[in-house]
Chains A and B, each alone.
Chain A
Amino acid sequence: MLLPIFIMVPFLGGILCLLCNQYSLKISHYIALISMSIVFVLSISLFFYDLTVYVPSIYGSHWNFEYETPWIPRFGITFHLAADGLSILMLVLTSILGMVSILCSWNKIKKNIGFFYLNLLWILSFSIGIFLSIDLFLFFIFWEVMIFPAYFLIMFWGYKVDNKKTCLNRYVAANKFFMYSQCSGLILLFSILILVHCHYISTHILSFNYDALHNIHVNFFLETCIMLGFFLAFSIKIPIVPFHGWLPDFHTYSPISGALDISGILLKTAVYALLRFNIFLFPHSSARFAYYFMIVGLITIFYTALIAFSQTDIKRLIAYSSISHSGFVLVAIYSASQIAYQGVIIQTISYALSTAALYCLIGQLFQRTHTRDMRKMGGLWSSIKWIPGFSLFFSVANLGIPGTGNFVGEFMILFGAFKNNVLLVSIASFSLIISALYSLMMIQKTYFGVCSRFNDVVIIPYTSFREIFISVLLLVILILIGFYPSIIMNISEFPLNNLRVVFSNFILITRL
């Protein structure tokens, strides 16, 4: 009964925020914060259970926590939630980022606060649903429904400049996001249904259960088709290069605080899904296609890193850099190496945190300078107190300096994948130079040099305690992961190994 609570708390909290909005403006903040902290505490408390599962048999349950109740018996759909170490880590990440984004938007949202927090909390709630749901239909529902709050967040609280053209562009960006997500959802639905139908034909059991569908035997061609469908659906959301069109626009026009949410969580759901579903359900055809997918990942890394150079908007730059890092994740996932898999998790988590911190800082900067254009900034180091220092740290963390979680993640990915894919990984490692370059360029353009424009504009140098707290919190977590990554590795080792073993058998077969 513990698992539905994780979904219900933010969901109901959102509704409560909307209802309380009429009576008092400030109370919504606290409701949102409290509901996310409940989720956080509960998810931390999951660690204190015994997380070892001794029997990873095919038919027995290998989940640490499970909740199941019938939903649509006609199709064999159940409301089936389950969690293992991997999901728990994602849960913790979601709740931390949720709290940070609520803190971030504390004073910035002026109108319709209740509705804003409703959307924010629902995004969190639905993404927790994605991380927990094991029934494919339920997973799909969460996958689709998560679009709406995000859509409304951009529509109502998006990047606001009093300019008609920006306003229109914002709607276009929101629609683009919606359409891309819908395409991804439809493809996903189609592939899920084919998969279920194949399972039904071979066993005469109609079920959307993940564990049941794992054991199907279909011919290779059909499996490949289904796998490609899943991959396409997920890669639109990650996003991988040919399908990345929506992300930069989305980031440009999304609200300052909402973007943090979306980049941190929305995109990580796709990585999680790729790891959880694509490899585990279709090990055979994934193995056959692994090399091509790794090449696609490589293209993603370099293409977006190079594009990031030409950006003038800080937010777009970070958006592109985050696409570039998801390329690393793709390479690692299809390398089928245990170390790389650990790296994926650490990279995902620490990258989410450092990007979130950067978005947060940009938001604070925007509040003071009213621009995100790097050409208009410069020489801000001495005018604002804390923000430049933190930005320096996080952007350096972003490029993976030793001592932060990002370094551990990248190192493990490259190290793990190197064994089997020497050439590919050596090329990929060169991208670190590019990422270092654009990160430093961003810092240099924003904070150093001559202050070109802000001589006449009054900048508020004061930094509130709340803002410092957010940055310090994320900084501490990042350094903690950097110096002691075993906290994550111990938890995620068993489930990741499970996934990898299934996959790597096939990899070895295809290699030989």
Chain B
Amino acid sequence: MIITINQLISCSPLLILLSTAIVIMLFIAYNRNHFFTFLCSIIGLSFTLLSLYFVQKNVPTNVTVLFHIDKYSLFYITMIILSSMVSCVFAYSWLKNCLYDYEEFYLFLLFSTIGCISLIIANHMSVLFIGMELISLPMLGLIAYTYFKKHSLEAAVKYMILSCTVSVLALFGIALIYSISGSLTFFSVIYELLMSISHPNVVLLCGVGLVIVAFVFKLSIFPFHIWTPDVYNGTSSIVLIYLSTAAKIAVFSLFFKLFTFLTFFNVGFFNISLEIMLCCSIIFGHIMALFQTSIKRFLGYSSISQFGYLLVSVLNSSNFNFSLEVVGVYLISYWLSNVGIFGLMSIISNVNRKLEFDCISCYRSLFWYNPILSSIMTITLFSLSGIPITIGFISKFYLLSLIIKENLWFLGIIFILGSIIGIYSYLKIIMFLYLKPVIHSSVKRIILDTRSKKYVFFLFVISVWIIILGIFPDMVINLISQSEPKLFNIV
């Protein structure tokens, strides 16, 4: 097997990140220096971002049988690298303030990013499995990083057990697929599915179903969602910036790439089961979110329903292009608002270390103490609930037009019901921000130091972007329709 220069270049994001990780590891062994590690990981990530420019020139390419890179994957890689950069930057002051072992944090983050990237460009079942594990094992470290906090270990153990179980199931599924198709490239799997469309092969379908379970678990769709609120609850907000965006975006991008086929060729079983799952997760996520008092749990439940909405995009019948746009716009809006809200929470909890800023009542009458923070939070929450002139509305608009285009009337009703419940639950939190302060309140005015002011400025920029993209969504739409891939060159 000969690897050409072109293939090396296409692989360069992975290589750069790997070498960064190695450098950091060596330095940790030699001499621990927080600032240097931070700088090193940021530089590594920025070089990766830079390398995407060169990769872009020779896509689409296959790198051996394992990877397939196209514009579609470049788009999501960019988002993932950005989110890990953001979480690095946010983590820097947090780690400095409250922990003593800080270098490994960046290491975990980088490894997990490598996992995400390899998952996005995977073209082979083995890469799929390895990528998923590479995401979730370092994630375990990140979740348990604040092991002295109350719920941290519980979250980690829960995540570990469930995720391992699902991995084993996925492995079994891959084995079943292998037993029928004799090869593990996605091409052969899809080919095999295509061949057996008239009289489906039960073993193959079982295998695919098990792989779907793995995906759905990572996306926390309805029957496999149980870990989400607990893990969200126990994890610090900085890790959540990463966990809620990068991991889910990576998994979803591959999920979409693979499983649009199943519905496209009308494998009825998958269609129906996906529909049931997404309906349940939309309704269930929103209803459970209503009753939460902890804001992290609330966001966990709301993320369940968010991905429920997004799963609609898999159910297309005629052309992928529209669904691709839907996914792109939706994930961008999801990225922006999640970074916004978790970043904000991390700033606040960073400033007031004594108070655990998790309870919703802690945010009571934030507007009267700090209007900028509260307006950022309002904008991000509005964007999550899909209210006009935010990018979140544009994504909901896209989804609704997809639903109508595909004539999924039942889903349309579920969508409206879910949105109404969702708006109510978000509104409850937003109202808390604007309540008049209680006179004998224990919540003190949040005083920001200069560093957190910089972070606030960053978040402010993000919230401004949420609104700008909501008013002029053409920028994003053009970007995504340009990044439209030769996705399925296999067919």
Q: A residues engaging B (CB < 8 A)?
A: 71-75, 140-141, 144-145, 152, 155-156, 167, 171, 174-175, 178-179, 182-183, 185-187, 189-190, 193-194, 197
A159 to chain B, nearest CB (A): 14
Check if A74 sits within 8 Å of B474, measured CB to CB: yes
Which candidate, B44-52, B269-277, B415-423, is the interface stretch facing chain A? B415-423
Check if B424 sits within 8 Å of A190, measured CB to CB: no
Check if B420 sits within 8 Å of A182, measured CB to CB: yes
Check if A178 sits within 8 Å of B427, measured CB to CB: yes
Check if B431 sits within 8 Å of A175, measured CB to CB: yes
Which 3 residue pairs of A and B lie closest in terms of their CB atoms, listed nearest first? A144-B388, A74-B477, A197-B404
* CB neighbours of B423 from chain A (8 A): 178-179, 182
Cα of A145 to Cα of B470 in the assembled complex, Å: 12
Indicate if B387 sits at the interface (CB-CB under 8 A): yes
B366 to chain A, nearest CB (A): 14
Indicate if B461 sits at the interface (CB-CB under 8 A): no
* CB neighbours of A140 from chain B (8 A): 388
A-B contact pairs, 13 of them (CB 8 A): A71-B474, A74-B473, A74-B481, A141-B389, A167-B436, A174-B431, A175-B431, A182-B423, A186-B419, A186-B420, A193-B404, A197-B404, A197-B405
* CB neighbours of A174 from chain B (8 A): 431
* CB neighbours of B178 from chain A (8 A): none
* CB neighbours of B434 from chain A (8 A): 152, 155-156
* CB neighbours of A175 from chain B (8 A): 424, 427, 431
Choice from A152, A183, A189 contacting B400 with Cβ under 8 Å: A189
Indicate if B203 sits at the interface (CB-CB under 8 A): no
Q: A155-B434, A190-B400 in contact; A179/B424 too (CB < 8 A)?
A: yes
Q: A155-B434, A183-B420 in contact; A73/B388 too (CB < 8 A)?
A: no
Cα of A175 to Cα of B412 in the assembled complex, Å: 24
Check if B388 sits within 8 Å of A190, measured CB to CB: no
* CB neighbours of B435 from chain A (8 A): 171
Binding site secondary structure of chain B: helix
Q: A175-B431, A197-B404, A197-B405 in contact; A145/B389 too (CB < 8 A)?
A: yes
Check if B388 sits within 8 Å of A145, measured CB to CB: yes
Q: A167-B436, A179-B427, A193-B404 are in contact. List 17 more A-B contacts (CB 8 A).
A: A71-B474, A72-B473, A74-B473, A74-B477, A144-B388, A145-B389, A152-B434, A174-B431, A182-B387, A182-B419, A182-B420, A182-B423, A190-B400, A190-B412, A193-B397, A193-B400, A193-B401
B409 to chain A, nearest CB (A): 9
Q: Which of B405-443 contact A (CB under 8 A)?
A: 405, 412, 416, 419-420, 423-424, 427, 431, 434-436
Instruction: Tell me the nearest residue of chain B to A179, going by C-beta.
Output: B424
Q: Which of B48-70 contact A (CB under 8 A)?
A: none
Q: B residues engaging A (CB < 8 A)?
A: 325, 387-389, 397, 400-401, 404-405, 412, 416, 419-420, 423-424, 427, 431, 434-436, 473-474, 477, 481
Cα of A354 to Cα of B471 in the assembled complex, Å: 37
B391 to chain A, nearest CB (A): 13
B263 to chain A, nearest CB (A): 20
Residue in B404, B435, B436, B481 with the greatest tally of chain A CB atoms within 10 Å: B404
Cα of A368 to Cα of B477 in the assembled complex, Å: 57
Cα of A75 to Cα of B477 in the assembled complex, Å: 10
Check if B420 sits within 8 Å of A171, measured CB to CB: no
Instruction: Tell me the nearest residue of chain B to A141, going by C-beta.
Output: B388
* CB neighbours of A144 from chain B (8 A): 387-388
* CB neighbours of A145 from chain B (8 A): 388-389
Cα of A325 to Cα of B401 in the assembled complex, Å: 37
Choice from B404, B427, B474 contacting A194 with Cβ under 8 Å: B404
Instruction: Tell me the nearest residue of chain B to A75, going by C-beta.
Output: B401
A195 to chain B, nearest CB (A): 10
Cα of A186 to Cα of B423 in the assembled complex, Å: 11
Check if A72 sits within 8 Å of B477, measured CB to CB: yes
Cα of A193 to Cα of B397 in the assembled complex, Å: 9
Cα of A75 to Cα of B398 in the assembled complex, Å: 10
B360 to chain A, nearest CB (A): 15
Q: A144-B388, A186-B419 in contact; A197/B401 too (CB < 8 A)?
A: yes
Instruction: Tell me the nearest residue of chain B to A152, going by C-beta.
Output: B434
B330 to chain A, nearest CB (A): 15
* CB neighbours of B400 from chain A (8 A): 189-190, 193
A55 to chain B, nearest CB (A): 34
Residue in B387, B388, B401 with the greatest tally of chain A CB atoms within 10 Å: B388
Check if B431 sits within 8 Å of A171, measured CB to CB: yes
Cα of A197 to Cα of B407 in the assembled complex, Å: 10
B364 to chain A, nearest CB (A): 12
Instruction: Tell me the nearest residue of chain B to A198, going by C-beta.
Output: B404
Check if A189 sits within 8 Å of B397, measured CB to CB: yes
Cα of A155 to Cα of B432 in the assembled complex, Å: 11
B435 to chain A, nearest CB (A): 7
Q: A144-B388, A171-B431 in contact; A72/B474 too (CB < 8 A)?
A: yes
Cα of A190 to Cα of B400 in the assembled complex, Å: 7
* CB neighbours of B481 from chain A (8 A): 74
B142 to chain A, nearest CB (A): 37
B421 to chain A, nearest CB (A): 10
Cα of A23 to Cα of B463 in the assembled complex, Å: 27
Check if A190 sits within 8 Å of B416, measured CB to CB: yes
* CB neighbours of B474 from chain A (8 A): 71-74
B407 to chain A, nearest CB (A): 9
* CB neighbours of A74 from chain B (8 A): 325, 473-474, 477, 481
* CB neighbours of B416 from chain A (8 A): 186-187, 190
Cα of A24 to Cα of B482 in the assembled complex, Å: 50
* CB neighbours of B419 from chain A (8 A): 182, 186
Instruction: Tell me the nearest residue of chain A to B478, going by C-beta.
Output: A74
Instruction: Tell me the nearest residue of chain B to A197, going by C-beta.
Output: B404
Choice from A72, A75, A179 contacting B420 with Cβ under 8 Å: A179
* CB neighbours of A185 from chain B (8 A): 388
Instruction: Tell me the nearest residue of chain A to B394, going by C-beta.
Output: A72
A180 to chain B, nearest CB (A): 10
Cα of A75 to Cα of B478 in the assembled complex, Å: 12
* CB neighbours of B477 from chain A (8 A): 72, 74
B384 to chain A, nearest CB (A): 14
Residue in B474, B477, B481 with the greatest tally of chain A CB atoms within 10 Å: B474
Residue in A74, A141, A167, A175 with the greatest tally of chain B CB atoms within 10 Å: A74
* CB neighbours of A194 from chain B (8 A): 404
A38 to chain B, nearest CB (A): 24
* CB neighbours of A189 from chain B (8 A): 397, 400
Cα of A505 to Cα of B387 in the assembled complex, Å: 39
A172 to chain B, nearest CB (A): 9
B156 to chain A, nearest CB (A): 38
Cα of A414 to Cα of B186 in the assembled complex, Å: 72
* CB neighbours of A187 from chain B (8 A): 416
* CB neighbours of A167 from chain B (8 A): 436
Cα of A190 to Cα of B474 in the assembled complex, Å: 21
* CB neighbours of A190 from chain B (8 A): 400, 404, 412, 416
B329 to chain A, nearest CB (A): 10
A89 to chain B, nearest CB (A): 27
Cα of A174 to Cα of B477 in the assembled complex, Å: 35
Cα of A185 to Cα of B386 in the assembled complex, Å: 12
* CB neighbours of A141 from chain B (8 A): 388-389
Cα of A140 to Cα of B400 in the assembled complex, Å: 14
Cα of A187 to Cα of B415 in the assembled complex, Å: 11
* CB neighbours of B404 from chain A (8 A): 190, 193-194, 197
Cα of A197 to Cα of B397 in the assembled complex, Å: 13
